[in-house]
Amino acid sequence: MNIYLRLVYRNIRANLDRASLFFELIFPLFFIFVQGFGLNGIVPPFDVGNGRVISYSLFLAAGAVTLTVINGGTNAGTQLWFDRKNGMFEQLLMGPFTRAQYILSIIFATLIIGVAGSLLVFGFAFPVLGASFAPTWEGALLIAGALFLGTMFFGAFAIALSVVLKSSETFQIVSTFAFFIFLFTSSVFFPASAAPSAIQAASLANPLTYTTDIFRAGLFNAVTPTVSLELGVLAIEAVAMFVIAVFAFRRIRV
């Protein structure tokens, strides 16, 4: 079996428990069905681009699917933390692998969890919402690109954070706080263009804004010229964060 497959399988089996994965799926569904239905009656439908008008519950549902990207990212940091705490980090580095293979295996495991989680939430929520789609190849590629790059960014971010922070408890608190900032300065809950100027400015640097916008554009066939620009920015942010994570990872003292 390929070395990456072995390591990815091991990361998922050893470091991720079913209970936390279950709640990571429940979390976006809670937004979709409670907040979405709750606000649907008072928020009028609006245009997400290209003349596509959708209800607020569908708007939020698409945003909530990308929440699983953040959850996947947190998992990357958690995997590294568990390995360091339990002595498996050094044990694996003394095995027949390179450091690069180890860190990439965490990113790959994160991608699998992030993308699979998104698809599960999507598959569960959208039929209930009664949405109908006319899928296109362009839309499918945009969705895949958004989920891939978003998970890569947040996975790398969590890895960098877990290297810098000295305890797993601090990591949990800081990562939760950081992810709330990402969440509320993005376009997950509301269109960033309708937000106050400070939040609008913050949303321009926020990779979750781009992940969500690109995902919605692909899903609702609402592709505008700005989507390719957003995809470019997200790719640059994801690669930059991955490089930072690799440098941070190399600083871990053994």
> Which residues lie near another protein (CB under 8 A)?
1, 3, 6-7, 9-10, 13-17, 82, 86-88, 90-98, 254
66: its two tokens: 């990308």
Residue type present at position 200? Q
As to burial, measured by CB atoms within 10 angstroms (0-12 exposed, 13-18 middle, 19+ buried), residue 52 is: middle
What are the CA-CA distances from residue 45 to residues 32, 51, 54, 169 (Å)?
A: 16, 12, 5, 42
CA gap 207, 198 in Å, rounded: 16
CA gap 7, 172 in Å, rounded: 24
Give yes or no for a contact between 215 and 144, defined as CB atoms under 8 angstroms apart: no
By beta-carbon proximity to another protein, the closer residue of 21 and 131 is 21
Give yes or no for a contact between 111 and 148, defined as CB atoms under 8 angstroms apart: yes
Q: Among 186, 168, 204, which residue's Cα sits nearest to residue 74? A: 168
By beta-carbon proximity to another protein, the closer residue of 16 and 103 is 16
What are the CA-CA distances from residue 174 to residues 68, 86, 142, 162, 179 (Å)?
A: 18, 21, 31, 10, 8
* Minimum CB–partner distance for residue 175 and another protein (Å): 19
* Minimum CB–partner distance for residue 189 and another protein (Å): 33
* Minimum CB–partner distance for residue 9 and another protein (Å): 7
* Minimum CB–partner distance for residue 118 and another protein (Å): 23
Q: Among 9, 21, 24, which residue's Cα sits nearest to residue 105? A: 9
* Minimum CB–partner distance for residue 10 and another protein (Å): 5
By beta-carbon proximity to another protein, the closer residue of 86 and 176 is 86
By beta-carbon proximity to another protein, the closer residue of 13 and 166 is 13
By beta-carbon proximity to another protein, the closer residue of 15 and 186 is 15
* Minimum CB–partner distance for residue 96 and another protein (Å): 4
By beta-carbon proximity to another protein, the closer residue of 239 and 246 is 246
By beta-carbon proximity to another protein, the closer residue of 7 and 146 is 7
CA angle 5, 9, 10 (to 5 degrees): 120
CA gap 58, 4 in Å, rounded: 37
* Minimum CB–partner distance for residue 85 and another protein (Å): 8
